[in-house]
């Protein structure tokens, strides 16, 4: 079985979810000198050992055993997978995100303010795309696929262009909403060309992706309700909203962002005025409508890969 840790982008271990841990049996390299358990001596940085005990979360320590059977304790930011050592050394520095922000080519508003669901307490959800110079892409020092900035009032996420396009081709709802929002804050000529060809991303994959999200979200809600008698009303609201959006996309080939016509109903769900059973019936009803729309859709089987590929190449060339 593939080690689940090896499916992660483990070049920046500190960015991993605090609940994720490196599995027992993984070979790791300690990055700093660590004291040997029950000894006054140290294991030198660069020593290779095996994880023999994992913590419940990454803010606690691992037990690492070496070939001489000596053991040290180490935090996740003090170790790196042996096979990922070079990747770690070639990773972008932690403070590079701020410098890469100068390469943002597209910024827009999504979230409640774009959905027509905002209230006085709503924050700004800013999404967008960055496109660095070609030399940065050719370099051994790999670019991050995503930049994130957050404060008390604003949440910003920017995707590297190729990553963004690949997600859009998969009909990722968050990405498609970024392309179809009417609240565009910044778009340079390269981004404007992307908006012109955005219909190239629309295909029957929308049904697969949106349905998959709805199924997984509803399962989580059901599990929570069965265990605690409660569920997250915000998640329920977005589940229903996404079904409305999916139906519209399959029928018209347009991603519905502003769901103001459903505002009263959706906010009522958000504020807990619907029971779990009412949410379940509503979701099942909309899902049946979604299935019927899919059966008669005019959308193509697959997105227009060639148009998107040509666009990416031209965009890369513009940065040489």
- pTM of the predicted structure, to 2 decimals: 0.77
239/283 Cα distance (integer angstroms): 8
**What is the average pLDDT value for the chain, to the nearest integer?**
88
The rounded percent of the chain whose pLDDT value lies above 70 is 91
More confident: 5 or 200: 200
- Evaluate if residue 8 carries a pLDDT over 50: no
Predicted confidence (pLDDT) at residue 264 exceeds the cutoff of 60: yes
Q: Does residue 51 register a pLDDT over 60? A: yes
pLDDT digits (tens, 9 = 90+) for 277-313: 999 999 999 999 999 999 999 999 999 999 999 999 9
pLDDT in tens, 97-137: 778 899 999 999 998 999 999 887 788 899 999 999 988 88
Q: Is the pLDDT of residue 29 over 80?
A: yes
């Amino acid at each position: 079985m593939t080690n689940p840790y090896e499916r992660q982008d483990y070049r920046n271990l500190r960015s991993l979810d605090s609940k994720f841990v490196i599995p027992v049996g993984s070979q790791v390299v300690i990055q700093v000198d660590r004291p040997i358990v029950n000894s006054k001596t140290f294991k030198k940085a660069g020593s290779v050992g095996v994880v023999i005990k994992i913590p419940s979360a990454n803010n606690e320590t691992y037990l690492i055993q070496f070939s001489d059977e000596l053991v040290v304790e180490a935090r996740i930011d003090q170790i790196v997978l042996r096979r990922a050592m070079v990747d770690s050394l070639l990773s972008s520095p932690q403070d590079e995100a701020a410098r890469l922000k100068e390469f943002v080519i597209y910024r827009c508003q999504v979230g409640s303010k774009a959905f027509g669901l905002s209230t006085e307490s709503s924050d700004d959800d800013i999404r967008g795309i960055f496109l660095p110079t070609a030399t940065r892409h050719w370099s051994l020092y790999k670019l991050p696929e995503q930049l994130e900035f957050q404060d008390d009032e604003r949440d910003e996420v920017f995707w590297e262009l190729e990553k963004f396009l690949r997600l859009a081709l998969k009909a990722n709802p968050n990405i498609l909403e970024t392309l179809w929002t009417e609240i565009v804050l910044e778009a340079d000529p390269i981004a404007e060309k992307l908006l012109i060809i955005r219909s190239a991303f629309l295909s029957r994959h929308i049904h697969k992706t949106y349905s998959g999200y709805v199924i997984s979200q509803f399962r989580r809600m059901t599990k929570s309700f069965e265990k605690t008698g409660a569920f997250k009303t915000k998640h329920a609201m977005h589940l229903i909203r996404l079904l409305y959006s999916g139906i519209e996309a399959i029928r018209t080939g347009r991603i519905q962002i502003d769901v103001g016509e459903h505002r009263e109903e959706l906010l009522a769900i958000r504020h807990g005025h619907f029971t779990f059973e009412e949410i379940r019936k509503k979701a099942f009803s909309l899902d049946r409508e979604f299935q019927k729309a899919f059966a008669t859709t005019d959308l193509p089987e697959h997105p227009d890969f060639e148009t998107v590929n040509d666009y990416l190449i031209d965009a890369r060339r513009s940065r040489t």
